[in-house]
Structure 1
Amino acid sequence: MEIGAKLPSEAELGEQYGISRIVAREALAALVRSGSMYKIKGRGVLVNRPASATRIRVDRSGFADEMWSARGARCALRC
């Protein structure tokens, strides 16, 4: 599907897949929470950009590094 394409309504999804409207609503809500889709009041649920296209965040530090940094110290094992 193209970015911005509108998904079928809850009722249409229910008919198409033989599921209740509540199940369709929960599935759409899960897609919105995951960031795959977005919802506009009065328009419905639309396809979002892939996560890789919207933002890429690479975190090279680990938990221990974050804890050391938070305390203002440096790890003695690092060169």
Structure 2
Amino acid sequence: MEFAQPNNPLHGLTLEMILNRLVDYYGWERLGEYIEINCFNTDPSIKSSLKFLRKMPWARKQVEDLYVKTASRGVFQ
């Protein structure tokens, strides 16, 4: 049984989709300024960032929070 999640802005999005959208919008440099983690500031790549974010819930939360904040301005429509 599938449940709708109308109040969850991340419903249906993978971490990879979220990260790709943020990188497309902000770029690695600016993203690294907003979220100061090494995988965004030192030789960044989607693959290495996903690996880190999947292991570190605190970092993933920061990425998801930035996505929700940015999406609330209608950027990703």
- Fold conserved between structures, TM > 0.5: no
Q: What's the TM-score, normalizing by structure 1?
A: 0.24
Structure index of larger Rg = 1
From the two aligned structures, give the one with the greater strand fraction.
Answer: 1
